[in-house]
């Protein structure tokens, strides 16, 4: 099964479970969780069911395209269902079947792995899912986002698309994955890994990044004061990515690190709080709009 | 039959393996306590647990609570009944409040007075009435290191509770947890068993689960797992490394263990085995395999939770994952060796050790200075001193290697391995590893003095540095690991047998770190207290430990040897006698108004006086000598010689003579005795 087929099948599957299929956000994020379709939408009492692919950037994980398993840019397939249904684990296992992964043929395990994102003040408990020893999915029950307690609790399922594809296609290097036909993953992304690794580790302008961080932070604060939650949150994401770029240059010492993280958390929390209030003022318009297994 | 078996099963999503064992003990203790409080007798509680269920079977639980008789004291008899025995208002009210007839009140004498007493007999209730509330309470009482909520009731558990099953004999018990209500069903293995299994009696629970590929009894599951592992051992001709914690972890990661094995490329065996083992154990939970000579074999044993249609699919998948991990490790191993360790030391200037205590490089500099001083105090040879200095210089260089960045638990191991390949002295390489010993309570201590000196000095600096940065432990908090450091210093000293004066080293380190006088005092007080506690853990009495520390000062090795020497004589009659005498000396001197009496041999009236004087006179010098040379066996022998003289003295001589001169002379003699005891340790402090 090629890479795009895997994505399309997951989309089809989750659409059938009543998820809306969104597209990636248009600002760099470290993970699908940072997309406002997760971070903001899980806040407050409104139900929410969504699935989307998220290209995720982790500058420090770059390996110049030399390591067969590590990338500074990779794809996540993100699913959020709120409130978390009782049979969420079974739903997930069903989704694997659509990829040709029959649980009876393998050893699938839910192994303790808790999740925490200090930059957005969020945490949850859950598992990493093992498929014959390989971690293919992160499964989390959110407990808190932006410092706000979850009510109701959302379940988050994050598939590592490359990992699953490598398993399905039985290849040892991510670059050998079949995207479709003769086109390999390497054809699409190898050059990007080389260039971005070089940029992130060697070329980026540290002084500019520090300036940008402060400018983005200030703009987030100014915008939130104007009551514009969504644009403000965009600047939170820009801050977070800028921080990651600085981190890749080792420009932030251990001492300063905590300070930078708490600066991002402060504006993220402010956005989350404002979002909850905004939805309340709007009368929680998504109430009763999701029906399980609507889809098609 | 007046009893039946009871089953409670809490069905969950996968609970973290490390939580399950403690939760099983907790649930069984909570149940036993609740039964006791409710006067319900039972034979025993069997605990059952897998990642998806926590269950107990209570054997022979009584059908009914035990009856209870309680007596309540009411008003004085005189005010309850008049002379002709008619009840007054007070008696009626009291009887009514206790639910007994007023005629049933009994007369009891308590102290000097007569009271009306209500004897209330409560018949035991039917167990079935009590169980629903009781079991709900037991289920909610289980706590976990980390717990979550998942539904609108906000009840907490390690992971969501999805079903409940409770049967008493053959009757269902209704139990609730959050939105979940008990029903007649359990669930089988996620992939091999049925989703819904009706259980009609406690008796068939385990059997039906077994038919559905769930071995709920951890003991039986362990047996099955280990027998599978030994079959594999025979097949591949090796021995699995069955680390206890890893066995336990695997046990609680599966409902039905299916051990399998896989192999990896022989070429990976060139990497140090600790690296391979860490990759296998920490990331993949595999058991490594050794050959008869103890060398690692290119195999691993995993425990699958599923008997897959074709186990070779599971094996191949796992082999691919391990290959990727080991390739990473091989890459780091090669990369790290491009530059020798010594060339990495400079980059420690960029690594923050602690925000208040500067860089790792600075930390090493502090430790290096202390090491030089300690080598001098211990009179190490010039050659050894040079090795210590080289070891401390390289001590943290492996922290900036790729391998340690990836596997922090391999620090020390990688230092040793890289140092050996860089042509460093093997004793230096060994010290880079042994500086971290003992790594846990009961672990081995360094085998060579080089690592021991490094280890002691590093921890001494941790203690003073921690106090300097305001990171001293308080309550259960110990953010900088100071308690551990203090404890480890003593462990190394005892394990290696080094006579280090810890207080002296702490003083030097305090100077080095620029501690205030107040902090210095606190450091000494703290470490003194730790030493005391550690010795208490070794079963020395509080008094003996205090005595030993008072004599040996801050030299833990001597303190321990002193205690060991005295433990030999602890049961001896003469020693008990000597303590009694010492207590008497102490008491008499405390009561006497003046001190510094002049001893006059001419004033002795009894032989016992003269003989005690002579004994004390000659033994005092010997005692001082034994103490100075730390010869504690000799000290006990000298005290043994003293004992008969002092015992006879107290037998034969009355200290408080009417003649003031004689009395004062005898007190002066006891002062001499006391001075001897001050040197040997104040035996008067000991209890007999």
Query: Tell me, what CATH number does B166's domain have?
Result: 3.30.70.260
Name the average pLDDT for chain B: 93
CB B575, CB B638: distance < 8 Å: no
Quick one: average pLDDT of A31-43? 97
Q: Is the pLDDT of residue A268 over 80?
A: yes
Whether B73 and B61 map to the same domain: the answer is no
Last residue of one domain, picked from the residues B541, B564, B587: B564
Tens of pLDDT, residue by residue over B319-348, are 999 999 999 899 899 989 999 999 999 989
Tens of pLDDT, residue by residue over B595-616, are 677 888 888 888 999 999 999 9
CB B531, CB B559: distance < 8 Å: yes
Q: What is the pLDDT of residue B595?
A: 64
Q: Is the pLDDT of residue B594 over 70?
A: no
* Calpha distance B682→B549 (Å, rounded): 11
Which of B12, B13, B188, B361 has the most A C-beta neighbours within 10 Å, making it the best mutation to test the interface with A?
B13
**B146 with A114: Cβ contact below 8 A:** yes
Q: What is the pLDDT of residue A286?
A: 95
In a domain, residue B345? The reply is no
Q: Is the pLDDT of residue A293 over 70?
A: no
Whether B13 and B51 map to the same domain: the answer is yes
Whether B559 and B434 map to the same domain: the answer is yes
Q: What is the pLDDT of residue A254?
A: 65
Q: Which of A81, B564, B522, B327 is nearest to B530 (CA)?
A: B522
What is the tally of structural domains in chain B?
5
CB B667, CB B597: distance < 8 Å: yes
* Per-residue tokens: B683: 């035996």
Tens of pLDDT, residue by residue over B396-443, are 999 999 899 888 899 999 999 999 999 999 999 999 999 999 998 889
How long a stretch of residues is chain B? 688
Q: Is the pLDDT of residue B94 over 70?
A: yes
In a domain, residue B341? The reply is no
Q: What is the DSSP string of B494-511?
A: HHHT----HHHHHHHHHH
* Calpha distance A154→B521 (Å, rounded): 53
Map residue B1 onto helix, strand or coil: coil
Q: What is the DSSP string of B276-321?
A: HHHIIIIIH-PEEEE-TTS-EEEEEEEEESS--SSHHHHHHHHHHH
In a domain, residue B344? The reply is no
Instruction: Please name the helix (run of DSSP H) or strand (run of DSSP E) that holds residue B370, with its range, or none.
Output: helix B360-377
In a domain, residue B417? The reply is yes
Bridge-partner residues for A127, per DSSP?
A112, A139
Residue in B151, B159, B253 closest to A109 by CB: B253
In a domain, residue B38? The reply is yes
Q: What is the pLDDT of residue A260?
A: 92
Domain residues for B254?
218-336
Residue in A83, A127, A133 closest to B317 by CB: A133
Whether B198 and B183 map to the same domain: the answer is yes
Whether B393 and B489 map to the same domain: the answer is yes
Whether B527 and B421 map to the same domain: the answer is yes
In a domain, residue B343? The reply is no
Q: What is the pLDDT of residue A292?
A: 66
* Calpha distance B657→B317 (Å, rounded): 95
Distance from CA of A63 to the nearest CA of B (A): 12
Quick one: average pLDDT of A19-37? 97
In chain A, what residues touch B14 (CB-CB under 8 Å)? 109-112, 127
Q: Name the DSSP letter for residue B142.
A: -
Which residues of A touch chain B, with CB atoms under 8 Å apart? 67-69, 83-84, 86, 89, 93, 102-112, 114, 124-125, 127, 131-134, 141, 143, 151-153, 167, 170, 172, 250, 253-255
- A-B Cβ pairs (cutoff 8 Å, strict): 98
Q: What is the pLDDT of residue B490?
A: 97
Quick one: average pLDDT of B555-580? 93
**A112 with B152: Cβ contact below 8 A:** no
Distance from CA of A185 to the nearest CA of B (A): 18
Residue B637 burial (10 A CB sphere; 0-12, 13-18, 19+): middle
* Calpha distance A99→B508 (Å, rounded): 66
For residue A234, give Cα distances in angstroms to A78, A219, A239.
Answer: 19, 10, 9
Does the model's pTM come out above 0.95? no
* Calpha distance B364→B512 (Å, rounded): 12
In a domain, residue B77? The reply is yes
Distance from CA of A84 to the nearest CA of B (A): 8
Whether B85 and B24 map to the same domain: the answer is no
Whether B510 and B392 map to the same domain: the answer is yes
**B148 with A170: Cβ contact below 8 A:** no
Q: What percent of chain B has pLDDT over 90?
A: 75
Q: Is the pLDDT of residue B388 over 50?
A: yes
Whether B582 and B472 map to the same domain: the answer is no
Q: What is the pLDDT of residue A295?
A: 43
Which residue's entry shows tokens 């409040």? Answer: B97
Q: What is the pLDDT of residue B38?
A: 93
Which residue's entry shows tokens 């009961």? Answer: B442
Residue B563: HSE in the Cβ half-sphere, 13 Å Cα cutoff: 27
Q: Is the pLDDT of residue A225 over 80?
A: yes
Runs of H (alpha helix) within B514-572 = 517-537, 542-552, 556-569
Instruction: Please name the helix (run of DSSP H) or strand (run of DSSP E) that holds residue B335, with its range, or none.
Output: helix B311-336
* Calpha distance B391→B385 (Å, rounded): 10
Q: What is the pLDDT of residue B589?
A: 86
**B352 with A255: Cβ contact below 8 A:** yes
* Calpha distance B601→B655 (Å, rounded): 15
* Calpha distance A274→B614 (Å, rounded): 91
CB B222, CB B229: distance < 8 Å: no
* Calpha distance A32→A154 (Å, rounded): 14
Q: What is the pLDDT of residue B687?
A: 64
Distance from CA of B483 to the nearest CA of A (A): 24
Q: What is the pLDDT of residue B504?
A: 96
Quick one: average pLDDT of A60-74? 93
Tens of pLDDT, residue by residue over B194-230, are 999 999 999 999 999 999 999 999 999 999 999 999 9
In chain B, what residues touch A122 (CB-CB under 8 Å)? none
* Per-residue tokens: B41: 């007798």
Query: Which range, of A266-275, B101-110, B211-220, B506-515, averages the lowest pLDDT?
Result: B101-110
Helices A3-16 and A161-169 sit at what angle, rounded to 10 degrees? 120
Which of A102, A115, A131, A132 has the most B C-beta neighbours within 10 Å, making it the best mutation to test the interface with B?
A132
Dihedral, B301, B307, B311, B314 alpha carbons, nearest 10: -70
- Full 3-state SS string of A18-77: CCEECCCCCCCCCCHHHCHHHHCCCCCCCCEEEEEEEEEECHHHCCCCCCCCCCCEEEEE
Q: What percent of chain A has pLDDT over 70?
A: 98
Residue in A67, A103, A132 closest to B191 by CB: A103
Which of B12, B15, B16 has the most A C-beta neighbours within 10 Å, making it the best mutation to test the interface with A?
B16
Q: What is the pLDDT of residue B314?
A: 97
Q: Which of B373, B363, B371, B356 is nearest to B396 (CA)?
A: B363
Which of A47, A89, A96, A107 has the most B C-beta neighbours within 10 Å, making it the best mutation to test the interface with B?
A107
Q: Is the pLDDT of residue B173 over 80?
A: yes
B474 against B145, higher pLDDT:
B145
CB B72, CB B120: distance < 8 Å: yes
Please measure the distance between the N-terminal and C-terminal CA atoms of chain A and give it in whole angstroms.
Answer: 23
Q: What is the pLDDT of residue B79?
A: 85
**B321 with A132: Cβ contact below 8 A:** yes
Distance from CA of A232 to the nearest CA of B (A): 30
Q: What is the pLDDT of residue A81?
A: 97
In chain A, what residues touch B322 (CB-CB under 8 Å)? 133
Last residue of one domain, picked from the residues B564, B597, B613: B564
Which residue's entry shows tokens 């995207």? Answer: A179
Q: How confident is the model at residue A294 (pLDDT cuts 50, 70, 90)?
A: very low
Map residue B217 onto helix, strand or coil: coil
In chain B, what residues touch A132 (CB-CB under 8 Å)? 313-314, 316-318, 321
In a domain, residue B229? The reply is yes
Q: What is the pLDDT of residue B122?
A: 85
Nearest-CA residue of chain B relative to A126? Answer: B159
Q: Which of B530, B399, B375 is nearest to B454 (CA)?
A: B375
Nearest-CA residue of chain A relative to B350? Answer: A253
Runs of H (alpha helix) within B180-310 = 202-211, 218-236, 244-251, 273-278, 284
Q: What is the pLDDT of residue B80?
A: 85
Read off the CATH number of the domain in which B598 is found.
Answer: 1.10.730.10
Q: What is the DSSP string of chain A?
A: --HHHHHHHHHHHHHHTT-EE----SS--SSGGGSHHHHTTTSSS--EEEEEEEEEE-GGG--TT-SSS--SEEEEEEEEEESPPTTHHHHHHHHHHHTT--GGGS-EEEEE--EEEGGGTEEEEEEEEEETTEEEEEEEEEEEETTEEPSSPPEEEEEEHHHHHHHHHT-SSGGG-EEETTEEHHHHHHHHHHHHHHIIIIIS-HHHHHHHHHHHHHHHHHHHHTT-HHHHHHHHHHHHHHHHHHHHTT-S-HHHHHHHHHHHHHHHHHHHHHHHHHHHHTT-TTTT---TT---
Q: How confident is the model at residue B367 (pLDDT cuts 50, 70, 90)?
A: very high
Whether B378 and B406 map to the same domain: the answer is yes
| Separate counts of helices (H) and strands (E) for chain B | 25, 18
**A107 with B152: Cβ contact below 8 A:** no
Handedness of CA B515, B517, B522, B525 (dihedral sign): positive
Q: What is the pLDDT of residue A255?
A: 65
- Phi, psi of A130, deg, nearest 5: -100, 135
Last residue of one domain, picked from the residues B85, B103, B122: B122
Nearest-CA residue of chain A relative to B163? Answer: A86
Residue B186: HSE in the Cβ half-sphere, 13 Å Cα cutoff: 31
Q: Is the pLDDT of residue B677 over 90?
A: no
* Calpha distance B331→B325 (Å, rounded): 10
The two beta strands, B106-110 and B68-76, are unpaired
Q: Is the pLDDT of residue B239 over 80?
A: yes
Whether B454 and B517 map to the same domain: the answer is yes
Whether B501 and B640 map to the same domain: the answer is no
Q: Is the pLDDT of residue B525 over 70?
A: yes
Q: How confident is the model at residue A296 (pLDDT cuts 50, 70, 90)?
A: very low
CB A75, CB A46: distance < 8 Å: no
Quick one: average pLDDT of B60-80? 90
């Amino acid at each position: 099964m090629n890479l795009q087929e895997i994505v399309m099948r997951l989309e089809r599957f989750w659409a059938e479970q009543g998820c809306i299929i969104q597209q990636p956000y248009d600002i760099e994020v470290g993970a699908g969780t940072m997309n406002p379709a997760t971070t903001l939408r899980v806040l407050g009492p409104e139900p929410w069911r969504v699935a989307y692919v998220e290209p995720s950037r982790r500058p420090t994980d770059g390996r110049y395209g030399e390591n067969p398993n590590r990338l500074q840019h990779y794809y996540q397939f993100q699913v959020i269902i709120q409130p978390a249904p009782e049979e969420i684990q079974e739903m997930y296992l069903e989704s694997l079947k659509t990829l040709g992964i029959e649980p009876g043929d393998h050893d699938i395990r839910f192994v303790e792995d808790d999740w925490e994102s200090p930059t957005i003040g969020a945490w949850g408990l859950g598992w990493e899912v093992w498929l014959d020893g390989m971690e293919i999915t992160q499964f989390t029950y959110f407990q808190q986002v932006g410092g706000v307690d979850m009510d109701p609790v959302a379940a988050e399922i994050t598939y590592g698309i490359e990992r699953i594809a490598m398993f399905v296609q039985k290849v040892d290097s991510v670059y050998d994955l079949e995207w479709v036909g003769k086109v390999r993953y390497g054809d699409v992304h190898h050059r990007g890994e080389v260039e971005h690794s070089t940029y992130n580790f060697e070329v980026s302008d540290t002084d500019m990044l520090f300036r940008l961080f402060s400018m983005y932070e200030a703009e987030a604060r100014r915008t939130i004061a104007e009551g514009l939650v969504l644009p403000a949150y965009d600047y939170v994401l820009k801050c977070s990515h800028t921080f990651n770029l600085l981190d890749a240059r080792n420009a932030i010492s251990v001492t300063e690190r905590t300070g930078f993280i708490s600066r991002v958390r402060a504006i993220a929390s402010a956005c989350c709080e404002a979002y909850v209030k905004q939805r309340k003022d709007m009368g929680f318009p998504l109430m009763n709009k999701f029906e399980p297994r609507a889809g098609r | 039959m007046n009893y039946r078996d009871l089953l409670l099963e809490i069905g969950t999503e996968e609970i973290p393996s490390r939580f399950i064992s403690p939760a099983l003990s907790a649930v069984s203790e909570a149940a036993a306590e609740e039964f006791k409080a409710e006067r319900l007798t039972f034979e025993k509680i069997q605990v059952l647990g897998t990642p998806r269920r926590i269950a107990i079977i209570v054997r022979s639980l009584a059908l009914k609570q035990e009856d209870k008789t309680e007596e309540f004291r009411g008003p004085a008899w005189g005010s309850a009944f008049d002379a002709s025995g008619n009840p007054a208002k007070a008696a009626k009210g009291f009887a009514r409040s206790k639910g007994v007839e007023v005629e049933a009140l009994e007369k009891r004498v308590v102290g000097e007075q007569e009271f009306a007493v209500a004897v209330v007999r409560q018949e035991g209730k039917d167990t079935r009435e009590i169980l629903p509330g009781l079991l709900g309470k037991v289920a909610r009482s289980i706590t976990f290191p980390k717990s979550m909520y998942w539904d609108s009731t906000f009840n907490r558990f390690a992971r969501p509770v999805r079903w409940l099953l409770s049967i008493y004999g053959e009757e269902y018990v209704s139990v609730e947890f959050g939105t979940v209500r008990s029903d007649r069903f359990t669930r089988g293995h996620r992939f091999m068993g049925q989703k819904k299994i009706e259980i009609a009696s406690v008796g068939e629970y385990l059997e039906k689960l077994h038919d559905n590929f769930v071995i709920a009894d951890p003991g039986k599951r362990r047996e099955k797992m280990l027998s599978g592992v030994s079959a594999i051992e025979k097949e591949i001709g090796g021995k699995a490394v069955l680390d206890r914690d890893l066995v336990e972890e695997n046990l609680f990661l599966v409902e039905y263990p299916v051990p399998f094995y896989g192999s990896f490329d022989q070429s990976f065996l060139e990497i140090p085995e600790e690296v391979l083992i860490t990759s296998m154990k920490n990331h993949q939970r595999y058991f490594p395999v050794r050959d008869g000579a103890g060398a690692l074999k290119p195999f691993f044993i995993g425990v699958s939770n599923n008997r897959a249609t074709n186990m070779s699919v599971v094996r191949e998948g796992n082999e691919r994952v391990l290959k990727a991990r080991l390739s990473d490790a091989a890459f780091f191993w090669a990369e790290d060796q491009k530059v020798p360790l010594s060339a990495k030391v400079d980059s420690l200037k960029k690594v923050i050790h602690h925000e208040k205590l500067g860089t790792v490089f600075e930390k090493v500099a502090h430790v290096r200075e202390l090491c030089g001083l300690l080598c001098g105090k211990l009179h190490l040879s010039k050659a050894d001193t040079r090795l210590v200095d080289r070891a401390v210089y390289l001590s943290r260089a492996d922290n900036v290697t790729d391998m340690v960045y990836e596997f922090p638990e391999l620090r020390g191991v990688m230092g040793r391995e890289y140092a050996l390949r860089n042509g460093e002295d093997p004793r230096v390489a060994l010290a880079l590893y042994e500086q971290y010993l003992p790594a846990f309570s009961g672990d081995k201590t360094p085998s060579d003095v080089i690592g021991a000196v490094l280890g002691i000095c590093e921890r001494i600096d941790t203690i003073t540095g921690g106090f300097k940065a305001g990171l001293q432990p308080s309550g259960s908090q110990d953010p900088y690991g100071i308690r551990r450091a203090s404890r480890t210093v003593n462990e190394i000293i005892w394990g290696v047998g080094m006579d280090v004066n810890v207080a002296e080293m702490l003083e030097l380190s305090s100077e080095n770190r620029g501690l205030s006088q107040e902090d210095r005092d606190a450091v000494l007080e703290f470490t003194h207290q730790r030493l005391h506690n550690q010795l208490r853990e070794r079963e020395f009495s509080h008094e003996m430990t205090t005595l030993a520390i008072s004599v040996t000062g801050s030299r833990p090795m001597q303190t321990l040897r002193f205690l060991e020497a005295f433990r030999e004589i602890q049961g001896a009659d003469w020693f008990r006698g000597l303590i009694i005498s010492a207590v008497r000396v102490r008491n008499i001197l405390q009561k006497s108004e003046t001190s510094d009496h002049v001893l006059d041999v001419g004033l002795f009236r009894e032989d016992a006086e003269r003989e005690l004087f002579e004994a004390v006179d000659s033994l005092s010098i010997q005692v001082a000598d034994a103490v100075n040379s730390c010869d504690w066996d000799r000290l006990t022998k000298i005290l043994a010689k003293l004992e008969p003289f002092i015992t006879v003295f107290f037998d034969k001589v009355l200290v408080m003579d009417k003649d003031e001169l004689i009395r004062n002379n005898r007190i002066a003699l006891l002062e001499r005795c006391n001075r001897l005891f001050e040197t040997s340790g104040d035996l008067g402090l000991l209890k007999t």
